[in-house]
Structure formats: C-alpha cells, structure tokens
Structure 1
Amino acid sequence: MAQSDFFYPENSKRRQELNNLHQELLDRLSDSFDATNELNRVLNTHLACRLDSIEMKRNGTIKENCDIIIKAMKKIQKEVQRVDDVLKEQLEPTLYRKLQDIREREIDKIAIVQKVISVILGEATSTASTVAVKLICSNVATVVINKLVTVLAQIGASLLGGIGVAVLRFGLDMILQAILGAVERNQLQAAIRNYEEHLVEFKSASEKYHHAIKEVTKTLKCQLK
C-alpha cells in the first residue's frame, strides 16, 4: 500500500479508476488508427488516392499519437476536396447543386457523379461514384472529421498529452508521477476528471467517425457481392 493510501483509503480505488480511464483512452485511439487506415484503403482502392497507412507509436506519448491521426485526417480531407473540385469543374452547375441537396436520392447522385468520374480515374465505375457520393455529398469530410480533429488536438494539448502510451507497463504510479508527481487525493481526483472530460467528447466524435466509415464500407460490400 502506498503511503498516501494510509491517509486516503480511497486512493487505491481511484488509482484503478485512473488506470481504466487511461486504457479506455488508448483503446479509443487504437480504434481511430484502424478506422483511418480503413478509410485510406477505400480511397486508395476506389478513388486512386495515395494515402499511407498509419501506425500507433507504442513508445510515444498520447499527443504524438493524436498528431499522427490528425495529420492523416487532414490528408484525407485534402484528397476528398481534390475530387470535389474536379466534380465542381466538370459538372454543370445545376447537377453539382443536386449533389449538395439532401433531398436528392443517393442513387441519383451516384448517377450524376458517374458522368464525370472518369476524369479522375480514367474510367467510370459505380463503386468509385458511390465512394465519392458517400464522402463528398455528406458531412463526413467536413463536420465529422473536423470534430474529431478538434477533440484530438484538445487531448494532445491537455495534461494528458505528455503521458506515454506504454506507461501502464511500468505501473500505475508512473501515470501519477507523469501527471502530477505525487499521489494525493485531490490530485487523483483532478486527473480522473481530466480523463473523463476528454473521453466524453472523444467517445462521441470517434463513434460518429467510425459509423461514417462503416456506412461506406458496408455499401461497397453490398455492391461487390
């Protein structure tokens, strides 16, 4: 038992809670790496993009890993914008406006995109048109990714940013030392609140991001059957 636990019996429980929150944050980060790589694969395969896969730095800090995902997401946004620019340039204004109209059926939007997708790929495929519609004619590349980028940047800039991803290998006291340098009741509570506050936003943003990518891949799987 740590000396502080003698004076604050609840510290042991709080340490475990902090451990669980740290692990949950790492799991969310890992899932975001996987989801981003899946989206990269879809864009590379169907829209002729050249996006590199990303890998979690197991010996890096939380901030370093947040920065890796942010950088990858910005590259995705740049590629989606490139495709959107071509569509805007090649389509008649009335047709391009239909792509932005939420009242238009998705199947009609795919047909519109297919008219000019060959300018980007050299060939016109319904699969590529579907990917373009799913990513461009929605809020995935703007609202969804922007929100997750903002949350990741906040986590990286927070007290948590300097914590090592692999810190659990060295025991819970290393987390506490990395955060505050001592084990006291108010400090543990502050650390727990810090994790909880960021996890609430991270959960929401990452779930929307993962759901959007699943929607794209699910549609593609149905097409390829």
Structure 2
Amino acid sequence: MALSELVFHNSERRDRLCRLNQTFLEKMNNNFRATNKLSEVLNENFSCKFQPIAVDKDKTVKENCDIFLEAVKKIQVKIEEIDSRLKEKLEPSCYQEILAMKMPSTETLRKAQAVLEGIAGISLVVFGALKFLGPRLSLIVSPVLGVSACIGSLVLSVLGLGLELVFGAIEKSRLDDAIRKHEKVLEEFGPASDAYHDGIVYVTVKIEIMTSHT
C-alpha cells in the first residue's frame, strides 16, 4: 500500500477513534451528572454531605472510574445503612409500606421517626424510590471496572490517547488496537450507562412529582 493510502486510511481510523472516544466521554459525563443528582437527593432528605464529582479529562480513565465508583459506593452504603435500620426496627408491614413509594400513614411515620430521628414523611417516600433504584447502582460497577481494566491507562482527552502523527504501519497498529479496545468497552459500558442514567432520571422525576403533591 502506498504511503498516501496509509495516511488516508489512518486519517479515517483517527476519525473513528475520536467518535468512539466522544461517545465514551458522553456516557461518562452522563454517569457523573446522574450520580450528582442522586447525591443531591440524599443531601436534601437525609442530611448527607456528598460532594459533587466531575470528569477530569486530564486524568486517566482509571482515575476517573475510581472517582465515580467511590461516589457510587458511598451512596450504596448510605442507602443500605438506612435500609438496615428501618428493616431491623420496623414491623414488616410498616417497612413494606415505605417501599411502596407513597406517603406513609401517621402510625408508620411515627415509628420511622423513632428510628430515624426527625425524618419527614416525604423523605420516607424518597427512600422507597432510592431502594427501588438500588439494583441499578450495583449493575454499573462491573462495566466500569471493565473499562478501567481495558483502557484505564489512557488519558480521557483525545490528545492524550497517544495518537502522535506517526505514518505507516506503526500508527495503523496503534489505531486499530485503540479502536478495538474502545469498541469492546462500549459494548458493555454503553448499555449499562444508559440503564444507570435512565434509572436515576426516572427515580428523581418520580420524587419530584411525589413531592409536588405533598
């Protein structure tokens, strides 16, 4: 193959990799924003102090994945902590009433307030929604770990992908390898991210609707 053909095809490969990288960045940004929204819900209703997280394009993929997973883990721990206290202290009927994602009866609220001091009725509704979301939080972990294992050493920005303008077979090999890794990552990470983001949006919208009617 002539040098001019290699340059042309490598240009196409770089464009392909840039598009894949952009798709990956969009999924990552959506995950971070959704996580921040969830943190806000917990901060407002359960006096948590979760700090917002942001994608840092100057950091590696692994470093960003670690930031995301740490935030998700803290949220999971808090939800599990609240759940354990309610499940342990309340009668099964009261506990199930809270999970129904509707305003609890006066009696259930009174009993819940004995477990979680000062808890508002609407916060119990919010907890029911968060409990419903729980499995979605767990399902994102494995795909993110897969991302970290596959392309963790790469810097997020396109300029950090090591795509120096090296002509010929060396660049072609690098580009093909990077494209293959990105396609492999997005095969699982893409749908998992969509499900994670959509699940949080569904729950937060439902919470907004429920709270507007109280």
State the TM bucket, normalised to the shorter chain. 0.7 to 0.9
Q: Is the CA contact (8 Å cut-off) linking 1:48 and 1:121 kept in structure 2?
A: no
Rate the CA distance shift 1:114–1:77 in 2: closer, same or farther, 3 A.
same
Pair 1:150 & 2:142 matched: yes
Instruction: Give identity over the alignment, percent.
Output: 30
Q: Which of 130, 134, 158 is residue 125 of structure 2 equivalent to?
A: 130
Q: Deviations over 1:12-44 (max 9, x none)?
A: 211100011011111111111111111000001
Alignment of 1:17-28 (within 5 A): 17-28=16-27
Closer, same or farther: CA 36–5 of 1 in aligned 2, 3 Å? farther
Greater RCO between the two (CA within 8 Å, min separation 6)?
2
Segments of 5+ residues of structure 1 without an aligned counterpart are none
Q: CA deviation at 1:219?
A: 2.0
Aligned positions of 1:62-211 closer than 5 A? 62-96=61-95, 105-107=100-102, 110-111=104-105, 114-119=109-114, 121-136=116-131, 138=132, 140-141=133-134, 143-158=135-150, 160-168=151-159, 174-175=162-163, 182-184=170-172, 186-211=173-198
Q: How many residues align?
A: 207
Contact 2:32 2:53 in 1 (8 A): yes
Give the Å deviation of 1:114: 3.3
Distance 1:152 1:4, change over 3 A: farther
SS in 2 for 1:65: helix
SS of 1:163's equivalent in the other structure is coil
Q: Letter of the aligned partner of 2:156 in structure 1? A: V
Output one character per residue of 1:116-168: Cα deviation in whole Å (capped at 9) or x when no partner. Answer: 442455334232011110112x2x22x3112211111111111x211112343
- In structure 1, the residue matched to 2:13 is 14
- The 1:9–1:223 alpha-carbon spacing in structure 2 relative to 1, beyond 3 Å, is same
Q: Deviations over 1:172-207 (max 9, x none)?
A: 7x3368xxx9312x5433321211121121121111
Provide the aligned C-alpha RMSD in A: 2.8
1:58 aligns with 57
- In 2 relative to 1, CA 208–120 (structure 1 residues): closer, same or farther, beyond 3 Å? farther
- Give the aligned residue type for 2:137: I
CA shift in 2, pair 1:20/1:39, >3 Å: same
Distance across 2 between alignment mates of 1:167 and 1:125 = 47
